[in-house]
Amino acid sequence: MAAILVIDDDVPVCNSFKALLSEYDHDVEILSDPTETPNILKKASFDLAIIDIYMPKTDGLETIRLLRETHPEITIIAMSGKKREPFNPLSAAEAYGAKLTISKPISAKQLLEVVDQALLS
């Protein structure tokens, strides 16, 4: 069992991730407002964070940078459904410190596989 933080402005995505990962005995917290990340990190500790790159109030790259500076022990998975040539947001996320990346849309099987991979390595 792992403590997982899901940060995505798409509330249905957050809720579906929480439902699925909770079925596998993970303790999942969700944030649809990435600006609340510092507040939740004061209240709880996490093993893993799954972060969307493109969000309106602050982007996922900034959130990844914040986590790397303040909580380097948290493993990060970055996700994005957008590609803006020539910029690859998932490559940028790796440069910022994401351990793994995944493209949206994400199937339940893909989510479980990437979470297992992140937690085992």
Read off the CATH number of the domain in which 92 is found.
Answer: 3.40.50.2300
Nearest to residue 8, comparing CAs of 87, 63, 84, 67? 63
> What Rg do the C-alpha atoms of the chain give, in angstroms?
13
pTM to 2 decimals? 0.94
Q: What is the pLDDT of residues 21-63, one digit of tens each?
A: 999 999 999 999 999 999 999 999 999 999 999 998 888 999 9
**Full domain range(s) for residue 56:** 3-120
Q: What is the pLDDT of residues 55-98, one digit of tens each?
A: 988 889 999 999 999 999 999 999 998 666 566 788 899 999 99
Which burial class, exposed, middle or buried, applies to 45 when counting CB atoms under 10 A from its CB (0-12, 13-18, 19+)?
exposed
Domain total of the chain: 1
Q: Which residue has the higher pLDDT, 83 or 112?
A: 112
